[in-house]
């Protein structure tokens, strides 16, 4: 199937006797049994559902949808993107093991890896994946995993996934890639040999800023391990959130085509704006619709950042991204607030850095509104 068709149709095993077009919402905490023998059948593998924390038709459907789009054997939903990252790491690393992560990840992921997972006894090394010699030099005897993002947040560096996979295979390591910014529409890391792919489905998979969800996909063996962590650590997704996310995913191709096309137009326009010091956008990818719907800019030093944010008009200021409405965020005070100052400084994440999530409005209107805000910031 082509991508757009696979969004809507798959090899679904029909579990329902009433043939509704849309999957019903199984908003139940538990499932019933006719006898103790039938209950025991669940534990012996002859039953599908017991208790929603351990499985639900809606959360299963979400895992299956994203796995299908990514070309993976299996998938499992979690309560958030960070929850999905956590269970992915814990599926392969435990107390006494070591993982390596790139330095330019999302700030929440940085905090999870550096501050929280180390309390599980997992050793962590942060290095720039832009230099694979540094990654290789960081590998230890107890290293289990390489973690990075297909397009990094917020600097939009496109990861060399082939190089990451090659290095991992050389040392028999697993790979976990956050594919949130690219979405499966632009990038399918499993095809390149990546072991596990994670999404904050809150973003482009859901697409409408009305859910918080995560999904991790990969081999059946690895996802079984991750799914056990979802159940035992209690980071399962609710049925209604899963249902909303699946509904949103059906328009992923339509949204990404439009939003990515607009993003490239916006990036090109801001590239020549006199108030902009630098534009971060993966121009070199040359996709038919651009390469992702995120644009990051650094304003000129003389620009007043507060004035810029006060002058955005209908463009919303939010700490997240990827809805159908354009929005902006300030990484240094939101997503990367908990990242050490010296790390942000080294990466170039400063007060003048602005992350822009491009929506489905006409790109000329987006450019006009952003340009007006930049001009006001320059004039103060």
CATH number of the domain to which 136 belongs: 3.40.640.10
Is 178 an annotated catalytic residue? yes
* 258, 243: one domain: no
Is 171 an annotated catalytic residue? no
* 226, 81: one domain: yes
Q: How many domains does the chain have?
A: 2
Question: Where a domain ends, among 250, 272, 295?
Answer: 250
Q: What is the pLDDT of residue 48?
A: 82
Question: Where a domain ends, among 250, 266, 295?
Answer: 250
* 283, 360: one domain: yes
Host H or E run for residue 233? helix 220-233
Examine the pLDDT at 14 and tell me if it is beyond 60.
no
Q: Can you spell out the DSSP letters for 326-349? A: -EEE-GGGTTTTTS-HHHHHHHT-
* 41, 186: one domain: yes
- 173-218 pLDDT tens trace: 999 999 999 999 999 999 999 999 999 999 999 999 999 999 999 9
Kindly name the residue from 178, 195, 204, 289 that is annotated as catalytic: 178
Q: What is the pLDDT of residue 154?
A: 94
Q: What is the pLDDT of residue 85?
A: 98
- How would residue 17 be classed by pLDDT, with cut points 50, 70 and 90? low
What is the maximal distance between C-alpha atoms in the chain?
76
* 96, 190: one domain: yes
Q: What is the pLDDT of residue 11?
A: 62
* 156, 245: one domain: yes
Kindly name the residue from 203, 229, 255, 264 that is annotated as catalytic: 203
* 227, 301: one domain: no
Kindly name the residue from 68, 97, 106, 147 that is annotated as catalytic: 106
* 83, 177: one domain: yes
Examine the pLDDT at 377 and tell me if it is beyond 80.
yes
- 133-172 pLDDT tens trace: 999 999 999 999 999 999 999 999 999 999 999 999 999 9
Is 170 an annotated catalytic residue? no
- How would residue 7 be classed by pLDDT, with cut points 50, 70 and 90? confident
Examine the pLDDT at 12 and tell me if it is beyond 60.
no
Is 265 an annotated catalytic residue? no
* 231, 277: one domain: no
| Residue 57 CB burial class (10 angstroms; 0-12, 13-18, ≥19) | buried
Kindly name the residue from 51, 53, 278, 316 that is annotated as catalytic: 53
Whole-angstrom CA distances from 275 to 300, 301, 366 are 6, 9, 16
Examine the pLDDT at 131 and tell me if it is beyond 90.
yes
> Percent of the chain beyond pLDDT 70?
97
CATH of the domain at 362: 3.90.1150.10
Question: Where a domain ends, among 232, 250, 268?
Answer: 250
Q: What is the pLDDT of residue 318?
A: 93
Query: Does the pTM of the predicted model rise above 0.85?
Result: yes
Mean pLDDT of the chain: 94
* 145, 170: one domain: yes
* 240, 289: one domain: no
- 63-117 pLDDT tens trace: 999 999 999 999 999 999 999 999 999 999 999 999 999 999 999 999 999 999 9
Domain limits for position 258: 253-379
> Whats the size of the chain, residue-wise?
380
Q: What is the pLDDT of residue 6?
A: 86
* 61, 129: one domain: yes
């Amino acid at each position: 199937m082509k991508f757009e068709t696979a969004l809507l149709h798959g090899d679904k095993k029909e579990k329902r006797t009433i043939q509704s077009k849309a999957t019903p919402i199984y908003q139940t905490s538990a499932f019933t049994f006719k006898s103790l023998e039938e209950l025991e059948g669940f534990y012996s593998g002859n039953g599908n559902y017991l208790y929603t924390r351990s499985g639900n038709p809606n959360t299963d459907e979400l895992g299956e949808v994203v796995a299908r789009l990514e070309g993976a054997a299996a998938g499992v939903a979690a309560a958030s993107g960070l929850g999905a990252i956590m269970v992915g790491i814990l599926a392969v690393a435990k107390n006494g093991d070591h993982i390596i992560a790139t330095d330019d990840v999302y700030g929440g992921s940085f905090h999870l890896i550096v501050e929280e997972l180390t309390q599980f006894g997992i050793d962590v090394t942060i290095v720039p994946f832009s230099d694979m010699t540094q990654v290789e030099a960081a590998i230890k005897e107890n290293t289990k995993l390489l973690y990075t993002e297909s397009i990094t947040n917020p600097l939009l560096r496109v990861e060399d996934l082939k190089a990451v996979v090659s290095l991992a295979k050389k040392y028999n390591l697993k790979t976990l890639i956050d594919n949130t910014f690219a979405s499966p529409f632009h990038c399918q890391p499993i095809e390149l040999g990546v072991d596990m792919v994670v999404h904050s489905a809150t973003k482009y998979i859901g697409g409408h800023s009305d859910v918080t969800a995560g999904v991790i996909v990969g081999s059946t063996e690895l996802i079984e391990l991750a799914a056990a962590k979802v159940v035992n650590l209690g980071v399962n997704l609710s049925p209604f959130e899963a249902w909303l996310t699946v509904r949103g995913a059906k328009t992923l191709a339509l949204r990404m085509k439009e939003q990515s096309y607009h993003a490239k137009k916006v990036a090109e326009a801001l590239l020549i704006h006199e108030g902009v010091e630098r534009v971060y956008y993966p121009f070199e990818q040359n996709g038919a619709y651009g390469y992702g719907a995120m644009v990051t800019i650094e304003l000129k030093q003389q620009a007043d950042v507060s004035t810029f944010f006060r002058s955005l008009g209908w463009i919303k200021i939010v700490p997240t991204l990827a809805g159908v409405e354009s929005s902006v965020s300030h990484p240094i005070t939101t997503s990367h607030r908990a990242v050490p100052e010296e790390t942000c400084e080294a990466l170039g994440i400063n007060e003048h850095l602005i992350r822009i999530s491009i929506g489905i409005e006409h790109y000329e209107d987006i450019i006009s509104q952003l340009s007006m805000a930049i001009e006001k910031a320059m004039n103060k």
